[in-house]
Structure formats: C-alpha cells, structure tokens
Amino acid sequence: MLRVRFAPSPTGFLHVGSARTFIFNWLYARRNGGTMVLRLDDTDVERNTEASVSSIFEGLRWLDLSWDEEYKQSERLALHRQIADAIFQKGLAYRDFTPAHTTAVEINDSEKSGANQTWLFNPGMRELPRAESDRRAATGESFALRFRVPRGAGEQVRFTDAVYGEQIKSADDIEDFALLRSDGMPTYHLASCADDIDLRISHIIRGQDHLTNTYKHVLIFESAGARPPQFAHLPLLVAPDGSKLSKRRHGPVVSVTTYRDAGFLPEAFINFLCLLGWSPKDNRENMTRQELIDAFSLEGINRANAVVNFKEPAATPDEAFDPKALWLNAEHIRALSVDELSARLLPIVHAAGFPIAPGKMRAITPLIRERIKLLRDVVTVADFFLVDQLPPYDPAELIPQKGDAAMALRVLTRAREVLAQTEFKHDPLDQNLRAAAQELGLKAGQMFQPIRVAVCGRKNAPPLFETLEVLGRDTTLERIAQAIQKL
C-alpha cells in the first residue's frame, strides 16, 4: 500500500518550503488512495522547542489538510537502537572510540582521502578487532557507532529519483557516517530510515537538499534488509536573487503563519505553493483542492528551483508577497459564497475593534468581494461601513467634475431633502436621486459624486445605491450634513 510521510524537525517555525513538502505528500496520498503519516523528527533535543512544535501544528491545522497517522520520533528510540545493533551484528557498522571534537590531524591525516580530501573514516577504529572493541565497550568507554561503508572494491551506491532521475555515487567517496552518537542517541540518518522501515513508508517525497543524504539512506535500508522506498526530491524555493529562502535573510515571508495573518485563504495558499515546482501541464493556475488532487503526479514536478517573487525591501505590505499569490487569493475570495466569505471576514473586523453584527457583515460582503485581495483588506476597503465618524478628507473631493463648490452644495442640500423621504432600497434610491439630478439640470455623475464622497470619505467606493442601503438613512443624512458644513 502507498504510504508517505511528512517529517518536520521542531527546531523552528513552519517554513513555506516545508508546507509545500507536506502538501505534495498529501496530494500524492489522496490521489492514489494512500496513507498520510505525520512524524515529528524530534530527536535533536538540544534544538527542539515547544514553540516550534506549536508553530508546526498551528500551520498544518490552518492548511486544513488532515493526516491519517501521527508519531513522535523521540518515542521510538528503542526501535532505532535495535536496528543499529542489527546492522552492527552483521559487521556492517563498528564502534568508534575517538573522543568527540578530536581533529583529523590529531588522529591521522590519511583519513582525508575523499575526492575533495574530506574526512572519510578513522582507519584505527574501522580496523579495530571486534574482541578489542567489545572489551573497551564493556569498560564503559564511550563510542559512536559508525556505518562501515564498503571501500576499495569500486562499489557504487545508486537509486532512481522520480524527479532527478538516476543518481550514482562511488562508495569510496562516502564517509563512515554515524548511526549512534557517543551519548547513545540516534543520528538523523539512522532514526529517519529506521522509522521509514518500521512505518512501511513506500515513497519519500522531500526537499532537494536531502538528495545527497539519500546515498547514506540507501545503504542503511539495504543493510537493515529493507527495500529502499521510491524517492522524489522537490526543487528548492529561492528568493528573486536566487538565494535559498531563509528566515535569517528574508524574514517573515518564509513563515506559513505570515500568510495566514496577512489574510490569505488556506486553499489559495495551497494552490500557490503547488505551482512552485509543479504544474498540471495544461496551463491551469487557479485550481480547487479537488482539482489539485485529480491532477497531481510526481511526473509534473520540475527540476529547476522555484522562485518566490517578493520585493525586498517591500515598499507596500502587498509587495512582501508574490503577485501570483495575491492574484490567486483574490480569485479564491471571489469564488466563495457571500455567506462563507462573510464568516471569514467577521473575525478580522472584530479583531480590528469593530463589533459589527453578522447581518451587517453579510450585507457589506458582496459590495467589497471584488475589491479585496487579502482578507485583511476588509478593514481598509470597508472602513466607512465600520466607523461611526469618517476620518478627515479633503472637501475639494466633494466637488463634481466640471463643477464647483456651489454645485456640490446644491447637490448635497437637495440629496438630504430627497433621502429624508426615500425608502432605503436600491430601486427607490436610484429613481429619486436620478430625478433630483434632472431637477438640478445635472448629469447623474455630477449628482452622485458629492454624495459618494460625503458618505464614504472618498471617490473610490462600491456602487452608491447599495452602499446607501447598507449605511442606512440616519448615518447617510448625518454624513451629508457634515459634508455641507465642510463646504
């Protein structure tokens, strides 16, 4: 059965690259009727933090993609040691009693025999007789357990990656890597492979930065008597300058929660991440979750690194995000029903300090749905619906095109009289204000602009009659009276 896993280390926030890895695993499992495993690789006790664990789960829950099984690597240490011992008993690993932090020069320069004169192994430890090794271990002397990489026979380690094709490396160029540290804790390589074997993981889909680790992992799988899974390594996410995305260099833009807090819809964010390094091969971009499941395949993953196009420094809040991410979010917002979008906007409006009722939020939503790219935009785009008093605006904005202050004053005075007697529904408002414009000998636009600015505080606003209907008679008349005072 197809089984995939997402195995984050809780040493930092949930990175957008890690989120993409989770999403690709999830899509592959759901596309093929497989099992999605979440495994917390938390054996690095010195770097693990509870804040990081919280960040990972917070981000994954926001994505709203479920998993089928959940494990913590730290609860599986006995299994890791059992597999390490099995490899040792086969003679495929050896104890290295070299004290930690000992330099290569202090041991023997002949260890530096790799292709680039890198450290490969300590001959004195690798060739130590088993009886001597057992004797020293029995006295309590600390040791690391190292894998005995086959040497001198021209052996090659190879695997076929679903994205990058056949990968081959000479075993002579692979160091005798540690399986257990001198404190008895498993290394990443051992723990990861031991868990993948025990959890019957059939496909390992992870970042391209793990490609070079895979040679060691193939050796571990084979030495443990297990068939290596199918590997698929994903292209890296890079900044516009080609550098790898990192929080140290690029700041909050690499954190999943930054997108959540900015007002991205999780489904739009998932859609955006999928297009970074994968395509459905039919030029589609705006895709629902089900469409992504139906289209996803490992064959659609690209080898080239994927660029996240944000500006640094960002002159505006929107420039901190890739324009395609913003476009997709706006498209997904427009695809939501009024009720669903209203329900998502209401908590944001409340958090901004505007205690409006759900009914009013639902009335506002269709008027702004086409005008927002991010959920947080509601606070600025719909501000005149939310506040009691409009912020100061330039009275010159009240003057209509080819008009003057006197014309604006006539319009607002007549509008106040008409609106005091008009039912606040779209059609009566439309008919009566158009009739008033004719009375005054004005074009409709010259009549509507002063009213729009008076009630909204600006020219750029949703359709006038729908806006007046939501604002209501009392607020409308009060704001028109204040505008008349400005003139």
pLDDT tens-digit series, residues 365-402: 999 999 999 999 999 999 999 999 999 999 999 999 99
What pLDDT band is residue 116 in, cutting at 50, 70 and 90? low
Contact, 296 vs 270, CB < 8 A? no
From 43-47, 306-310, 449-453, 459-463, the region with the lowest mean pLDDT:
43-47
Give the rounded distance of the alpha carbon of 22 from its chain centre.
Answer: 10
Contact, 39 vs 6, CB < 8 A? yes
Higher pLDDT, 46 or 414: 414
pLDDT tens-digit series, residues 6-39: 999 988 889 999 999 999 999 999 999 999 999 9
DSSP string, 433-453: HHHHHHHHT--HHHHHHHHHH
Residue type, 195: D
Percent of the chain with pLDDT over 90: 87
pLDDT tens-digit series, residues 56-71: 999 999 999 999 999 9
Q: Map out the domains of the chain with their CATH numbers.
A: 3-72+190-236 (3.40.50.620), 78-180 (3.90.800.10), 336-386 (1.10.8), 395-486 (1.10.10.350)
Would the pLDDT of 112 be above 60? no
Average pLDDT over residues 149-157: 94
- pLDDT score recorded for residue 111: 56
Residue 255 contacts by C-beta under 8 Å, 6 or more apart in sequence? Answer: 13, 14, 15, 16, 55, 247
Would the pLDDT of 109 be above 50? no
Please tell me the pTM assigned to this model.
0.92
pLDDT tens-digit series, residues 435-458: 999 999 999 999 999 999 999 999
CA dihedral 455, 456, 457, 459 (to 10 degrees): -110
pLDDT tens-digit series, residues 227-257: 999 999 999 999 999 999 887 888 788 999 9
The question of whether 247 is a catalytic residue gets the answer: yes
From 109-118, 139-148, 459-468, the region with the lowest mean pLDDT:
109-118
Would the pLDDT of 301 be above 60? yes
Average pLDDT over residues 101-105: 57
- pLDDT score recorded for residue 110: 46
Average pLDDT over residues 315-338: 96
DSSP string, 340-375: HHHHHHHHHHHHTT----HHHHHHHHHHHGGG-SSG
C-alpha distances in Å from residue 199, one per residue of 81, 186, 253, 302: 16, 17, 34, 28
- pLDDT score recorded for residue 103: 52
Residue type, 376: R
Q: Among the options 90, 112, 247, 459, which is catalytic?
A: 247
